[in-house]
Amino acid sequence: MKVLAINGSPRKKWNTATLLGKALEGAASQGAETELIHLYDLDYKGCISCFSCKLKDGKSYGRCAVKDDLAPVLERIESTDAFILGSPIYLGAATGQMRSFLERLVFPYLVYDLERSTLCRRRIRTGFIYTLGADEDQMKQMGFDQPLKLTEMMLKGIFGASETLLVNDTYQFDDYSKYVTPRFDPEQKARRRADVFPQDCQKAFEMGARLAR
Question: Mean pLDDT of all residues in the chain?
Answer: 92
CA 182 – CA 201 distance, rounded (Å)? 28
Q: What is the CATH code for 2-212?
A: 3.40.50.360
With a cut of 90, say whether residue 133 has pLDDT above it: no
Task: Tell me what the mean pLDDT of segment 37-65 comes to.
Answer: 95
Structure confidence by residue, pLDDT tens digits, 159-193: 998 999 999 889 888 888 898 988 888 888 889 88
For residues 78-103, give the mean pLDDT: 94
Mapped onto helix, strand or coil, the DSSP state of residue 27 is helix
- Answer yes or no: is pLDDT of 115 > 90: no
Cα gap 165→130, rounded to integer Å: 6
The model's pTM is 0.92
pLDDT at 52: 96
CA distances from 197 to 11, 80, 131, 163, 185 (A): 17, 29, 11, 19, 16
pLDDT at 129 over 80: yes
Average pLDDT over residues 103-130: 91
